[in-house]
């Protein structure tokens, strides 16, 4: 039997509040997602913090099947975090962030 | 190709808003700050029709219930659907846009958000039955509150509205509303 890995998506979010503790952001997304879609859905989403760059862009990953719910959660977060990009690979996402005109998002 | 629109952004810095919209995959925006100039991908939100012939696209918007049956009104902003539902059913004219802001629900708790989604589903069905246009906007006060096109799609899916259909209907509705007016060239 084939042991296939779950498909994941990588999301770039703009941390407009410039929160220093990014684990707190992931925790708040998890909390809001559980509130809206339930604890089981949140666990299944397998949300992970990948990193943060100097432009205050947070990179997260989640399972593909939980993407829709997660995007709705992001919109409904008390502290706004605009979604800049979704990508199937981290490499493509980082390339986009490097190339794209995201200077408007810098402080 | 489907154009995605956020018809309510309340920030005065149009250049910054337009750049952010581009990053977020939004093709056209509605803004409250009227410069009196026609700009590409910008629709102005006004309280009344301009006194002189304009060269820019605009929509007349109100959130006052007494304006609901006004022939001038293009968009009515629904802030409390449960309260105005019956009035809308009785007094609304066909082809009007009924708009909801996502910014209104950001700070609400999970249970209120759940109820709000249910109301949104109800509003969409009502719009279909009374031939009005359902409009979902960010209601953003700054670029950081703006919403990406892909997130709009997800919210619409949660409301059981097919995103492609929504964007298509919005495009056709705008074509009719804005097409009625006379414009000169866009910059």
Residue range A63-84: average pLDDT? 94
Q: Is residue A65 part of a domain?
A: yes
CATH number of B5-179: 3.20.20.140
Q: Rounded to an integer, what distance in angstroms lies between the CA atom of residue A62 and that of residue A42?
A: 10
Domain range for A14 is 8-98
The predicted pLDDT at position A16 comes to 75
| B167/B32: higher pLDDT | B167
Domain presence at residue A35 = yes
The per-residue pLDDT for A107 is 46
Q: Which of A7, A93, A100 is nearest to A51 (CA)?
A: A93
For residue B69, what pLDDT is reported? 86
Which has the higher per-residue pLDDT, B156 or B50?
B156
A10-47 per-residue burial string, b: 16 or more CB within 10 A, e: under 16 = bbbbbbbeebeebeebeebbbebbbbbbeeebbebbeb
Rounded mean pLDDT, B52-56: 81
- pLDDT, one tens digit per residue, over A7-37 is 999 999 988 777 667 788 899 999 999 999 9
**B145 contacts on A by Cβ (under 8 Å):** 80, 82
Question: For chain A, how many structural domains are there in total?
Answer: 1
Rounded-to-integer distance, Cα B140 and Cα B163, Å: 20
Could you tell me if residue A1 is inside a domain? no
Q: What is the model's pLDDT at position B51?
A: 80
Provide, as residue numbers in chain B, all residues whose Cβ is less than 8 Å from the Cβ of A76: 102, 105-106, 113
A105 pLDDT higher than 80: no
Structure tokens at B18: 């337009």
CB contact under 8 A, A82 and B148: yes
Q: Each residue of B133-167: pLDDT tens digit?
A: 999 999 999 999 999 999 999 999 999 999 999 99
Contact A36 B113 (CB under 8 A): yes
pLDDT digits (tens, 9 = 90+) for A43-72: 999 999 998 877 788 999 999 999 999 999
Reported as a pLDDT band with limits 50, 70 and 90, residue B182 is: low
pLDDT bracket for residue B180 (50, 70, 90): low
> Does A101 sit within 8 Å of B23, measured CB to CB?
yes
Question: What residue spans define the domains of chain B?
Answer: 5-179
Please tell me the predicted confidence (pLDDT) of residue A102: 54
Angle between helices B163-179 and B149-158 in degrees, nearest 10: 110
How many angstroms separate the CA atoms of B116 and B128, rounded?
18
Residue B59's pLDDT is 94
Among B23, B109, B148, whose Cβ lies nearest the Cβ of A104? B23
User: A54 vs chain B: nearest CA distance in angstroms?
Assistant: 17
- Binned at pLDDT 50, 70 and 90, residue B116 comes out as very high
Angle between helices B149-158 and A67-75 (to 10 degrees): 110
Helix axis angle, B81-91 relative to B110-129, nearest 10°?
Answer: 10
Mapped onto helix, strand or coil, the DSSP state of residue A42 is helix
pLDDT digits (tens, 9 = 90+) for B62-73: 999 988 888 889
On chain A, the residues whose CB falls within 8 A of the CB of B158 are: 68-69, 72
ipTM given for this complex: 0.88
Q: Which residues of A touch B (CB under 8 A)?
A: 14, 16, 32, 35-36, 67-69, 71-72, 74-78, 80, 82-84, 86, 100-102, 104-105
The confidence score (pLDDT) of residue A15 equals 84
Predicted pLDDT of residue B187: 47
Q: Is A80 in contact with B151 (Cβ distance < 8 A)?
A: no
Question: Taking all residues of chain B, what is their mean pLDDT, rounded to a whole number?
Answer: 90
**CATH number of the CATH domain containing A47:** 3.30.70.3250
Say if A42 falls within a structural domain: yes
* Closest to A9 in 3D by CA, of A56, A53, A68, A95: A68
* Residue A55, both tokens: 């432009």
Q: What is the pLDDT of residue B54?
A: 79
**Residues A24, B175: Cα–Cα separation, whole Å:** 45
pLDDT of residue B149: 96
Structure tokens at A11: 């999301």
SS3 string, chain B, reads CCCCEEEEECCCCHHHHHHHHHHHCCCEEEECCCCCCCCCCEEEEECCCCCCCCCCCEEEEECCHHHCCCCCCCEEECCCHHHHHHHHHHHCCCCCEEEEEHHHHCCCCHHHHHHHHHHHHHHHHHHHHCCCEEEEECCECCHHHCCCHHHHHHHHHHCCCCHHHHHHHHHHHHHHHHHCCCCCCCC
| H/E segment holding residue A91 | helix A90-99
Set of chain B residues whose Cβ sits within 8 Å of the Cβ of A30: none
Residues B155, A72: contact at Cβ < 8 Å? Answer: yes
């Amino acid at each position: 039997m084939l042991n296939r890995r779950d498909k994941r998506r990588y999301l770039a979010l703009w941390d407009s509040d410039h929160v220093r503790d990014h684990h707190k952001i992931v925790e708040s997304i998890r909390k809001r997602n559980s509130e809206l879609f339930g604890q089981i859905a949140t666990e299944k989403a397998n949300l992970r913090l990948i990193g943060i760059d100097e432009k205050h862009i947070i990179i997260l990953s989640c399972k593909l099947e939980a993407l829709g719910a997660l995007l709705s959660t992001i919109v409904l977060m008390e502290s706004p975090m605009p979604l800049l990009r979704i990508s199937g690979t981290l490499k493509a996402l980082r390339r986009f962030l490097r190339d794209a005109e995201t200077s408007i998002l810098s402080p | 190709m489907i154009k995605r629109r956020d018809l309510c952004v309340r920030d005065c810095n149009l250049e910054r808003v337009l750049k952010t919209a581009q990053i977020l995959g939004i093709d056209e925006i509605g803004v409250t700050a009227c410069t009196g100039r026609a700009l590409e991908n910008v629709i102005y939100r006004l309280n009344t029709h301009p006194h002189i012939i304009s060269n820019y696209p605009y929509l007349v918007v109100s959130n006052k219930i007494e304006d609901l049956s006004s022939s001038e009104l293009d968009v009515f902003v629904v802030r409390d659907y449960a309260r105005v539902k019956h009035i809308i059913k009785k007094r609304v004219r066909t082809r009007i846009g009924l708009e909801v802001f996502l910014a209104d629900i950001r700070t609400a708790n999970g249970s209120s958000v759940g109820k709000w989604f249910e109301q949104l589903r109800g509003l969409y069905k009502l719009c279909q039955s009374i031939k009005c246009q359902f409009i979902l906007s960010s209601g953003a006060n700054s670029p950081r509150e703006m919403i990406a096109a892909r997130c709009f799609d997800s919210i619409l899916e949660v409301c059981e509205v097919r995103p492609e259909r929504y964007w298509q209907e919005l495009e056709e509705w705008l074509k009719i509303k804005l097409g009625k007016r006379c414009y000169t060239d866009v910059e």
